[in-house]
Structure 1
Amino acid sequence: MMKLTRFVLSRCPAKSHTRPLSLFSTSSSNAYRSSSSSSSSSVLYADYTIFKGKAALSISPILPTFAKTSSGALRVDKKGAILLKFYPAIGERKYDYEKKQCFALSATELGSLIGLAPAKSCEFFHDPSMKTSNAGQVRKSLSVSPLSDDGYFFTLTVVNSLLKTNERFTVPVTKAELTVMQTSFSFMLPYIMGWHQLSSQSPGSNLAKHSEVSRSPNLEWDR
């Protein structure tokens, strides 16, 4: 119950600083360790952020973690995802980091966005308490809809019945920006599934390294 409350009452755990996120800031809330580096201090920050007038949209990958089975084999323990983070604007070229909301796209959801046909739309729904007695307390929906011939609207709606809040973030994404997103999603798909390890020369060693990668605290909820 304590674990559920922690995820329900928090939007998406934020850093301790309260400064607004600037358009020219290099701040990033998600990182994963480079598999080719043996140094524990080597961390890679790789967010792709789209800044618009009313909100900003930041995109970053979350790698899966691996665990040993009783037979000694390694399998995916926590699935990877692509994390979308929405920040509301609080001024010209300034965004409030503390009030961000997150939406983690699974491999299948990425497939829908990668294969999105021109002028078509798609929508995803998340409920952290699905199939439990607390289902429906927090509901998130992400819709991607056409913006005339110039791109798409990415809209995140978060309804929290416990806090009695209803938040909505809308970011217009141009065709060029969408192409960057789709290409990045296609590239990262095998990585968040853990399949890239199958072609590794020493899979046992590399999987062990990836199993040490900390799960980002910025996932929308514990998957």
Structure 2
Amino acid sequence: MQLLPSPSSLSSSSSSVPLQSPKFPPVFSHSPAFLRNCSFAPSFSCLSSVSLKKLSVECRRSEYFEQQQRFSGPADDSSPQSAGALPSRVFVGHSIYKGKAALTVEPKAPEFAPLDSGAFKLTREGFVLLQFAPAAGVRQYDWNRKQVFSLSVTEIGTLINLGAKDSCEFFHDPFKGKSDEGKVRKVLKAEPLPDGSGHFFNLSVQNRISNVDENIYIPITKAELTVLVSAFNFILPYLLGWHAFVNSIKPDDPARINNANPRYGADLEWSR
């Protein structure tokens, strides 16, 4: 059996096998016979035991990209949604809490229907859902007694244009044109506060079907109304479905290339 030198003797030895070389790392400065037999020092490794490992890089698709797919409108044949993948759903809202009531504002997406040509048509515009809940205690609200009011895009435009001293009123009958018309009456009023610090939002609901007579009001400050108006300005084109049209425009669309004549737009205007 061949005895191998200890690590301490290697560090102090002045033999013909140096520990370091000005040209190569220490592991390559020893003779091949020594390298085949070494197994004791953690700073040395045998070349026969060295193995190469393949490294792999795993990429994760951004969640933001998946969320964008949800709001990009109807999918075309090459989109992930048309291939059977479920789109990501995102729920958003903004809430205002006061002593007498709470108000939650939520946007609702428009609806599209497929046509025989493969295109999509807007069947229902989006809206903003207002939910009013009366207070049930200190910082507690009875959401079982909540009342809802859906703002159309035109009503949203009225609130966006609401001045500091302006007021507005909206009337809804959910059963208008049906057999129960007139049995449910909803009136939403926005009136300026006496001190000019904001507006009162007052929702009155009279439901003779379920025997409900509810009146919920909440003060909205100028700052809170500014936040709502900013959100309304942003979401309004999406409620109209115009984002789906913009996302469907493709530079290589044959129909658009054939109609690239500068006079095309004028023909539509004057040929009526």
TM-score (norm 2): 0.59
CA RMSD of aligned residues (A): 1.9
For structure 1, list consecutive stretches of 5 or more residues without a partner in the other structure: 1-32, 204-223
The Cα offsets for residues 6-41 of structure 1, whole Å up to 9 and x where unpaired, read as xxxxxxxxxxxxxxxxxxxxxxxxxxx934366747
Once structures 1 and 2 are overlaid, which stretch shifts more, 173-182 or 189-198?
Answer: 189-198
Larger strand percent:
1
For structure 2, list consecutive stretches of 5 or more residues without a partner in the other structure: 1-65, 71-79, 251-272
Shift of 1:198: 2.0
Is the counterpart of residue 34 in structure 1 residue 85 in structure 2?
Answer: no
In the alignment, what sits opposite 2:223?
176
Q: Quick one: which amino acid aligns to residue 162 of structure 2?
A: L
The Cα offsets for residues 166-209 of structure 1, whole Å up to 9 and x where unpaired, read as 10110100000000001100100000110112221568xxxxxx
% same residue: 44
Q: Quick one: which amino acid aligns to residue 161 of structure 1?
A: R
Inter-partner Cα distance in structure 2 for 1:167 and 1:147: 21
Shift of 1:43: 3.1
Inter-partner Cα distance in structure 2 for 1:71 and 1:41: 23
Is the counterpart of residue 46 in structure 1 residue 79 in structure 2?
Answer: no
* 1:159 equivalent among 194, 203, 206: 206
Larger helix percent:
2
In the alignment, what sits opposite 2:139?
93
Q: Quick one: which amino acid aligns to residue 123 of structure 2?
A: D
In the alignment, what sits opposite 1:75?
121
* 2:190 equivalent among 127, 140, 144: 144
Inter-partner Cα distance in structure 2 for 1:184 and 1:94: 26
Is the counterpart of residue 84 in structure 1 residue 133 in structure 2?
Answer: no
In the alignment, what sits opposite 1:194?
241
More relative contact order, 1 or 2 (CA 8 Å, 6+ apart): 1
Inter-partner Cα distance in structure 2 for 1:151 and 1:138: 29
Once structures 1 and 2 are overlaid, which stretch shifts more, 98-107 or 66-75?
Answer: 66-75
Q: Quick one: which amino acid aligns to residue 55 of structure 1?
A: A
- The alignment partner of 2:233 has SS state of helix
Q: Quick one: which amino acid aligns to residue 170 of structure 2?
A: F
Aligned residues: 171
Shift of 1:44: 2.1
